[in-house]
């Protein structure tokens, strides 16, 4: 099947600043894809190029087989864009905003009305639909903005940092909406600085740094590439640390790290799930009382660190936690 986004060797300079330096990205249809990177990595530049808003210096970009430079109109018929800000008219009601965008997509007045009603219903904005948007909360505006990008039933939804600045509750709601849309057949490309957002939402993650993709794959593949899993043993008695460490050494072949105060020792292992069983037996044989035994995969921030050789200072390590 034809990729929904096919970007090859894309470069874009703003004066002396190289925003994209030979970026390659191929996104297959049928997924939520995330472009993850710190501020200034080139995420927004990429989205604006795919959305036909920005020209670029070299390379090629196709959306569902259409060249964004030479067939921009064909591309615009396939995409819906929701940017970082809520691009809706505050003086108009939610319903009026959606109808207007519907008409601009080429729907008839009655199609646009029907479609606007469906989108409002879908985004739980039906009750607020006849209120001016200036009375909406930030989260509602963002949802309406997403709605505006859906009125035309786009094949590809482009979301540039859709949850930046949202409170945790609104963020979770938006995640659910995006998942539902993808499930009903819309391809989604989103950008994010939130590692956990990419982890939870996307089937395909491309990590972008300094204008190029430095790693991509499923979140699981990326974590696997970042290095081995870690096994952690948490003991009830400090006295057991020596025998526990010996068991870890025997099973993994590496010297474990021991944290005496926390009654904890850990070691990196190659095939974590296999090792876990062996280790449980070895600890049991040694008569060690285990309080907690965990196999931990590297987090995406560890992935970023291992790929770039530097931590991601501007990268939000986790989005704000939702209140449970």
Partner 1 sequence: MSTVSLEHTTVPPGRGASFAVATAQTASRTLRQFLRTPQLVVVSTATGILFLLIFRYVFGGAVAHLGGVSYVDFVVPGFVTTGVLFTGMGAASGVAEDVQSGFVDRLRSLPIARSSLVAGRMVADAGLLAWGLVVTTAAGFAVGFRLHGSVAGGAAALGLCLLYGLAFDALFVTSGLYAGSAQAAQGTSFLVFPLSFVSSAYVPVSTMPSWMQPVARWQPMTAMVDSVRILADGPATARTLGHPLHEYLLLSLAWCAVLLVVFVPLAAARFRSS
Pick from 19, 63, 107, 241 the residue near partner 1 by CB under 8 A: 107
Binding mask 183-222 for partner 1 (x = CB under 8 A): -xxx------------------------------------
Exactly one of 176, 284, 285, 314 binds partner 1 (CB under 8 A); that residue is 176
Q: Does 77 bind partner 1 (CB under 8 A)?
A: yes
Q: Are strands 156-160 and 79-82 parallel, antiparallel or unpaired?
A: parallel
Q: Does 118 bind partner 1 (CB under 8 A)?
A: yes
Closer Cβ to partner 1, 68 or 226, answer by number:
68
**Calpha distance 182→11 (Å, rounded):** 29
Of 121 and 259, the one with the shorter C-beta distance to partner 1 is 121
Judging by beta carbons within 10 Å of its beta carbon (0-12, 13-18, 19+), is residue 261 exposed, middle or buried? exposed
Of 122-130, 235-243, 247-255, 295-303: span binding partner 1 (CB under 8 A): 122-130
Token pair recorded at residue 156: 């590809």
Rounded Cα gap, residues 57 and 73, in angstroms = 20
* Residue 155 is a binding residue for partner 1 (CB under 8 A): yes
Residues 6+ apart with CB under 8 A from 225: 215, 217, 303, 306, 307
Give dist(CA 213, CA 207) in Å, integer.
6
Our finding on whether 129 is near partner 1 (CB under 8 A) is no
- 24 sits near partner 1 (criterion: CB under 8 A): no
**Cβ distance 242 to 228 under 8 Å?**
no
Query: Which string of DSSP letters, residue by residue, matches 286-306?
Result: TT--EEEEEEEPPPHHHHHHH
**Residue number with CB closer to partner 1 (118 or 295):** 118
Identity of the residue, 76 or 263, whose beta carbon is nearer to partner 1 in the bound complex: 76
Side by side, the strands of the sheet bearing 187-192 are 79-82, 156-160, 187-192, 32-36, 204-209, 212-217
We find the least distance from the C-beta atom of residue 7 to partner 1, in angstroms, to be 17
Q: Give the binding-site size for partner 1 (rule: CB under 8 A).
A: 53
Cβ(12)–Cβ(20) under 8 Å? yes
| Choice between 44 and 192, CB closer to partner 1 | 44
Verify binding: residue 51, partner 1, rule CB under 8 A.
Answer: yes
Q: Exposed (0-12), middle (13-18) or buried (19+): which is 292, by Cβ within 10 Å?
A: exposed
Candidate ranges 31-39, 94-102, 226-234, 283-291; the one touching partner 1 (CB under 8 A): 94-102
Query: What is the nearest approach in angstroms of partner 1 to the Cβ of residue 219?
Result: 25
177 binds partner 1 (CB under 8 A): yes
Q: Does residue 103 belong to the site contacting partner 1 (CB under 8 A)? A: yes
Pairing label, strands 187-192, 156-160: parallel
Sites of contact with partner 1 (CB under 8 A): 48, 51-55, 73, 76-81, 83-89, 91-92, 96, 100-101, 103-107, 111, 115, 118-119, 121-124, 132, 148-150, 152-155, 176-177, 180-181, 184-186
């Amino acid at each position: 099947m034809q990729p929904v986004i096919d970007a090859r060797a894309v470069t874009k300079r703003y004066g002396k600043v190289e925003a994209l330096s030979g970026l390659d990205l191929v996104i297959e249809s049928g997924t939520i894809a995330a472009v993850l990177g710190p501020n200034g990595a080139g995420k927004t530049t990429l989205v604006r190029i795919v959305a036909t808003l920005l020209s670029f210096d070299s390379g090629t970009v196709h959306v569902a087989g259409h060249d964004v430079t030479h067939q921009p109109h064909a591309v615009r018929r396939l995409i819906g864009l929701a940017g970082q800000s809520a691009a809706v008219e505050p003086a108009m009601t939610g319903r009026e905003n959606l109808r207007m965008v519907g008409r601009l997509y080429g729907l008839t007045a009655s199609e646009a009305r029907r479609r606007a009603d469906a989108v409002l219903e879908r985004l739980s904005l039906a009750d607020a639909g006849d209120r001016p948007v200036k009375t909406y909360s930030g989260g509602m505006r963002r949802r309406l903005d997403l709605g505006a990008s859906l009125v035309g039933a786009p094949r590809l939804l482009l979301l540039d940092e859709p949850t930046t600045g949202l409170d945790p509750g609104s963020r979770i709601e938006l995640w659910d909406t995006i998942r539902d849309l993808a499930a009903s057949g819309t391809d989604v490309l989103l950008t994010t600085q939130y590692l956990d957002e990419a982890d939870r939402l996307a089937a395909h993650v491309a990590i972008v740094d300094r204008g190029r993709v430095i790693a991509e794959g499923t979140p699981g593949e990326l974590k696997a590439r970042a290095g081995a899993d870690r096994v952690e043993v948490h003991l009830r008695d400090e006295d057991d640390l020596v025998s526990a460490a010996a068991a870890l050494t025997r099973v993994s072949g590496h010297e474990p790290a021991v944290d005496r105060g926390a009654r904890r020792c850990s070691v990196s292992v190659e095939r974590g799930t296999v090792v876990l069983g062996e280790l449980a037996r070895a600890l049991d044989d040694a008569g060690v009382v285990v309080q907690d035994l965990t196999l931990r995969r590297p987090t995406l921030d560890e992935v970023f660190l291992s790929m770039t050789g530097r931590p991601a200072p501007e990268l939000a390590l986790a989005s704000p936690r939702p209140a449970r």
